[in-house]
Structure 1
Amino acid sequence: MIIYNVTINIDESVHDQWLSWMMDEHIPAVMDTGKFIKAKMVKVLVVEEMGGSTYSVQYFAENHDKLQAYYKEDAPRLREEGARLFGDKMLAFRTELELLKEFKSI
Structure 2
Amino acid sequence: RGLAASLWGLEPEAFGSAHDGAPLTRIDVRPVLDRKLAALRAHRTQLDGDHLLRALPTDLAARHLGEEAWRASDSRADDPLARLIWAGDAAGARG
Q: TM-score, normalised by structure 1?
A: 0.29
Instruction: Name whichever structure is richer in strand by fraction.
Output: 1
Greater radius of gyration (CA): 2
